[in-house]
Amino acid sequence: MKLYIKQVLDKIINELTEKQQKILIKRYGLDGGKRQGLQKIGDSMSLTRERIRQIIEAILKKIAKNTNKDFLDLQKELKKIFARYGYILLEDDINIQIRGNKKKDSIEDKYTHLLLNIISIFYFNKQNKNIKNHWVSDLERTSALTKVFDHLHKKLKKDEDKLYSKNEIENLLVDSFMVIQPKLKDKGKKYKGMWLSLSNKILMNPYGEWGSVDQPEIRLKNLNSYIGLVLRHTKDPLHFRDISDRIAKLKGSKVLADACHNELVRSNKFVTVGRGLYSLKSDSCRHGTTQEITKCILLENKNQKLKQDEIIKLVQKERKVMNNTIIRALKDKKVFKMNSDSSYSVV
């Protein structure tokens, strides 16, 4: 269908006056150039912005009335595609769904947008805080989805630490349809995967995890949020160079290890767990130096008379440190003492 749209519309555009063709080409960039605004087109033709708008509106209405069989068939095909995707398509998906081509701002892309503007049943809605840029052939669909997204977003905010798989978030979306738009519940089940991508409030991170846009591991604004995402996803402590390499793969661009290390040291979200090793800071008291961690463990288990080997095992369950590091910490007589039975306690 890639060449079909351009071929059909070119035949119809050639039937327009030279002035009409010139305005249409400038407005939609049909010559391969950038789409021009009404004011710029008007200035180049010594006409007002409003007059250009009126001319374009008249041109589109004229083309829409064309009875060319290929043009009518093209419209039918486009309507079928929109019906297949629930009568609403993300602006970024227009190319792939209609023409099978991901490339934006190509000649074919511009002709596709012209076609959508010609056919009066299709409307373009600019994004807002709830929903992304999209085309729709049923205006009520936008309003319905906005309300459903808002309901689901409020539900997600009740547990801001939780992230969801695609299957889990789709099921939650269907639940919101049941509550907010029961008449669309069956449509919600059918198109849940496609419609979810329209939301500006419920997003997916690079690991395929879904959550509220307000969560730092969903909307990745800076290096700190990327570090948090990587450590949360791996769950184990990582060396700062490993962390920077993983972030680079997620972003598709180079990340300096030193910048990553500086952020790990600066932020109170992360804790050192070994030489160059870092982890997310837990809510427990076991963060800080090896000595502080060992002290916390002994205080929590003060009735168990822990010996050296037992202490080492407990510390290493939480921090990736060498045996000797823990042994050296235990030798600090200002903090620990060895009892007559070889167990340790806090001074």
List pLDDT tens digits, range 169-223: 999 999 999 999 999 989 999 999 889 999 999 999 999 999 999 988 898 989 9
List pLDDT tens digits, range 124-160: 999 988 899 999 988 889 999 999 999 999 999 988 7
pTM over 0.85: no
Within 13 Å of residue 31, how many CA atoms lie on the same side as its CB? 9
Tokens found for residue 47: 């006409």
- Predicted local distance difference test score (pLDDT) of residue 282: 62
Residue 28: phi and psi, rounded to 5, are -110, 0
C-alpha–C-alpha distance, residues 39 and 42, integer Å: 5
- Predicted local distance difference test score (pLDDT) of residue 216: 84
- Predicted local distance difference test score (pLDDT) of residue 190: 93
List pLDDT tens digits, range 227-284: 999 998 887 788 999 999 999 999 989 999 999 999 999 998 888 777 788 888 764 4
Whether the predicted pLDDT of 285 surpasses 60: no
3-state helix, strand, coil in the chain (%, to 5): 55, 10, 35
- Predicted local distance difference test score (pLDDT) of residue 286: 55
Question: Which one is predicted more confidently, 229 or 109?
Answer: 229
- Chain-centroid distance of CA 158 in Å reads 20
> What is the side-by-side order of every strand in the sheet holding 270-274?
238-239, 277-280, 270-274
Least trusted range by pLDDT, from 4-13, 32-41, 187-196, 278-287 = 278-287
- Predicted local distance difference test score (pLDDT) of residue 60: 96
Average pLDDT, the chain: 89
Q: What angle do CA 173, 179, 185 make, to 5 degrees?
A: 60
Question: Which one is predicted more confidently, 100 or 58?
Answer: 58
The conformational region for residue 178 under phi > 0 = left, psi -120 to 50 = alpha, else beta, is: alpha
E runs forming strands in the chain = 88-90, 123-125, 134-136, 202-204, 210-212, 238-239, 270-274, 277-280, 336-338, 344-346
Residue 238: phi and psi, rounded to 5, are -135, 150
- Predicted local distance difference test score (pLDDT) of residue 335: 92
- Predicted local distance difference test score (pLDDT) of residue 3: 46
Q: Which of 42-46, 107-111, 235-239, 301-305 is the most confident on average?
A: 42-46
The mean pLDDT value for 324-342 works out to: 91
